């Protein structure tokens, strides 16, 4: 690490502290320095903190995504006929829910929608996407090829964003050392090895909806919904569609137009729920048991409504539903018929180096 590189990198940090924006190429080159570890850890942390505190522009997010995808993402090839869909949240939201996106993805996969998920372990929540999948019996440390095969065979797979199999150079090193939300919550989550063209993505603030939708369109998404859910009579929000208040959305369409709309759970026949009902349990073991019960249709609660609403939006984004109501109806049938739990079992078997061990772990949760 030369003093010259660190000094030049320091000027970038100073500009961010002064609330000055970077170009896409400047952001890309800065992230190249971080990924290559050519500047000190102190400079890397200061850069991420300063960029987050300033507020990222779409050019800065696109530049950081480009660096991560080009330099530090394992590429996979799927059957060209499969149009993969991603569903994830950025984290950093002010209200932490149970893992709604995972529940919604399982239900959508049960409807034959190929879900290529890309997530991480918890940074600011009790249980992240990878933590939950692991607790259910999925092998989250497997190779990218096993994940790709799982997507092709059972319509569901999860790329572990903190695994060296998926991001072999630096991403796991960085994410394991920071405990605050950063630009990586957006840029890194978009660095999906399957490069999906369809997605539903929750963001941590309403102000990030359009910047993230613009970035997704720029990097190749053809159909996508970017959203932020509110909580009625509260200043808190979530990176999921909400059954506790209005959800603000921006929908990217193939004609490259963006349609903004809102979802009112009352108009969908979903009574506004007490938001505390969506909170995760205090430990992953208790939470995973309750999550498995939900997928097995043993929960009639705000959790079920939240899972169905978010699954319905995946059906809408994938053009498998004419509107949100139709998507919710399809999701409800799949959950209540037991198809969602069968899909969960099939996922545990397919994304595993030891399927029997994984299924045993899942079935133990149901006892």
Confirm or deny that 113 is annotated as ligand binding.
Answer: no
Q: Which distant-in-sequence residues (6+ apart) come within 8 Å of 28 by Cβ?
A: 63, 64, 66, 67
Nearest of 202, 165, 197, 199 to residue 185 by alpha carbon = 202
Indicate if the alpha-carbon torsion angle 316, 186, 281, 109 is positive or negative: positive
Q: Phi first, then psi: give them for residue 248, nearest 5 degrees.
A: -95, 130
Q: What is the largest CA-CA distance in the chain?
A: 63
> Are residues 37 and 90 both part of a single domain?
no
Q: Is residue 364 part of a domain?
A: no
Cβ(60)–Cβ(22) below 8 Å: yes
Cα–Cα separations (whole angstroms), residue 343 to 34, 244, 291, 351: 39, 28, 14, 12
Q: Is residue 216 part of a domain?
A: yes
- The structural domain count of the chain equals 2
Q: Is residue 109 part of a domain?
A: yes
Confirm or deny that 41 is annotated as ligand binding.
Answer: no
Q: Phi first, then psi: give them for residue 266, nearest 5 degrees.
A: -65, -40
The H or E element that residue 249 is part of is strand 247-252
Rounded-to-integer distance, Cα 173 and Cα 177, Å:
7
pLDDT top residue among 176 and 82: 82
- Give the CATH number, domain containing residue 310: 3.40.1030.10
Mean pLDDT of 169-195: 83
Confirm or deny that 100 is annotated as ligand binding.
Answer: yes
pLDDT (tens digit per residue) in 277-295? 999 998 999 999 999 999 9
Q: Which residue has the tokens 């209200």?
A: 95
Nearest of 212, 219, 193, 183 to residue 117 by alpha carbon = 193
Computed over every residue of the chain, the mean pLDDT equals 93
pLDDT top residue among 162 and 271: 162
26: pLDDT strictly greater than 70: yes
53: pLDDT strictly greater than 70: yes
> Are residues 216 and 114 both part of a single domain?
yes
CB atoms closer than 10 angstroms to residue 360: 12
Q: Is residue 49 part of a domain?
A: yes
Per-residue pLDDT at 182:
79
Out of 28-42, 71-85, 114-128, least confident range: 114-128
Q: Phi first, then psi: give them for residue 51, nearest 5 degrees.
A: -65, -40
Per-residue pLDDT at 254:
80
Mean pLDDT of 242-267: 93
Q: Is residue 66 part of a domain?
A: no
Rounded-to-integer distance, Cα 41 and Cα 19, Å:
22
125: pLDDT strictly greater than 80: no
Confirm or deny that 297 is annotated as ligand binding.
Answer: no
Question: What's the domain range around 118?
Answer: 85-350
Confirm or deny that 129 is annotated as ligand binding.
Answer: yes
Q: Is residue 299 part of a domain?
A: yes
> Are residues 42 and 109 both part of a single domain?
no
What value does the CA radius of gyration of the chain take, rounded to a whole number of Å? 20
Confirm or deny that 240 is annotated as ligand binding.
Answer: yes
> Are residues 51 and 93 both part of a single domain?
no
Nearest of 164, 123, 126 to residue 144 by alpha carbon = 164
In degrees, to the nearest 5, what angle opens at C-alpha 170 toward C-alphas 186 and 62?
30
> Are residues 165 and 284 both part of a single domain?
yes
Q: Residue 83 class from Cβ within 10 Å (0-12 exposed, 13-18 middle, 19+ buried)?
A: middle
Bridge partners of 117, per DSSP, are: 158
Per-residue pLDDT at 92:
72
> Are residues 91 and 51 both part of a single domain?
no
> Are residues 227 and 290 both part of a single domain?
yes
Q: Which distant-in-sequence residues (6+ apart) come within 8 Å of 246 by Cβ?
A: 229, 230, 232, 262, 263, 264
Q: Spell out the alpha helix ranges (H) of the chain.
A: 3-17, 24-36, 41-54, 58-72, 100-110, 129-136, 144-154, 171-175, 184-190, 209-218, 284-295, 302-317, 324-336, 339-350, 355-365
Q: Is residue 171 part of a domain?
A: yes
> Are residues 46 and 133 both part of a single domain?
no
Confirm or deny that 345 is annotated as ligand binding.
Answer: no
> Are residues 25 and 124 both part of a single domain?
no
Q: Is residue 67 part of a domain?
A: no
Confirm or deny that 57 is annotated as ligand binding.
Answer: no
195: pLDDT strictly greater than 70: yes
- Give the CATH number, domain containing residue 38: 1.20.970
Mean pLDDT of 74-83: 92
Confirm or deny that 247 is annotated as ligand binding.
Answer: no
> Are residues 44 and 187 both part of a single domain?
no
Q: Residue 288 class from Cβ within 10 Å (0-12 exposed, 13-18 middle, 19+ buried)?
A: buried
> Are residues 280 and 346 both part of a single domain?
yes
Per-residue pLDDT at 94:
81
Rounded-to-integer distance, Cα 229 and Cα 216, Å:
19
Q: Which residue has the tokens 């009639």?
A: 300
Instruction: Tell me the pLDDT band of 126, cut-offs 50, 70 and 90.
Output: low
DSSP 90-141: ----SS--S-HHHHHHHHHHHTT--EEEEE---SSSSS-HHHHHHHHT--TT
1: pLDDT strictly greater than 70: no
> Are residues 50 and 102 both part of a single domain?
no
pLDDT (tens digit per residue) in 316-347? 999 999 999 999 999 999 999 999 999 999 99
Indicate if the alpha-carbon torsion angle 264, 270, 274, 275 is positive or negative: negative
């Amino acid at each position: 690490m030369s003093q010259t590189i660190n000094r030049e990198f320091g000027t970038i940090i100073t500009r961010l502290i002064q609330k000055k924006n970077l170009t896409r190429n400047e952001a890309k080159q800065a992230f190249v320095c971080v990924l290559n570890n050519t500047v000190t850890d102190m400079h890397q942390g200061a850069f991420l903190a300063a960029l987050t505190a300033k507020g990222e522009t779409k050019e800065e997010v696109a530049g950081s995504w480009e660096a991560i995808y080009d330099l530090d993402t394992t590429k996979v090839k799927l059957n060209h006929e499969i149009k993969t869909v991603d569903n994830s949240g950025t984290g950093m939201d002010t209200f932490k829910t149970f893992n709604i996106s995972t529940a919604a993805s399982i239900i959508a996969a049960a409807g034959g929608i190929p879900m290529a998920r890309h997530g991480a372990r918890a940074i600011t929540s009790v249980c992240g996407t990878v933590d939950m999948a692991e607790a259910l019996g999925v092998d989250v440390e497997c190779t990218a090829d096993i994940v790709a095969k799982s997507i092709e065979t059972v319509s569901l797979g999860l790329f572990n964003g903190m695994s060296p199999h998926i991001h072999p150079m630096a991403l796991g090193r960085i994410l394991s050392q920071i405990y605050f939300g950063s630009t990586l919550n957006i840029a890194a989550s978009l660095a999906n090895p399957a490069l999906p063209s369809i997605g539903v993505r929750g963001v941590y603030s309403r102000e990030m909806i359009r910047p993230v939708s613009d970035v997704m369109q720029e990097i190749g998404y053809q159909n996508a919904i970017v959203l932020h859910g509110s909580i009625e009579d509260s200043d808190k929000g979530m990176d999921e569609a909400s059954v506790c208040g209005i959800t603000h959305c921006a929908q990217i369409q193939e004609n490259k137009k963006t349609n903004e709309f809102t979802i009112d759970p009352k108009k969908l026949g979903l009574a506004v729920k007490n938001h505390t009902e969506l909170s995760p349990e205090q430990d992953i073991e208790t939470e995973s048991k309750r999550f498995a019960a939900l997928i097995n249709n043993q929960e009639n609660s705000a959790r079920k409504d939240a899972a169905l609403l978010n699954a319905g939006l995946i059906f809408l984004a994938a053009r498998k539903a004419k509107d949100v109501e139709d998507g919710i109806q399809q999701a409800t049938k799949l959950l209540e018929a037991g198809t969602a739990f069968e899909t969960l079992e099939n996922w545990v078997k397919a994304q595993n180096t030891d399927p029997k061990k994984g299924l045993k772990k899942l079935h133990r949760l149901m006892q």
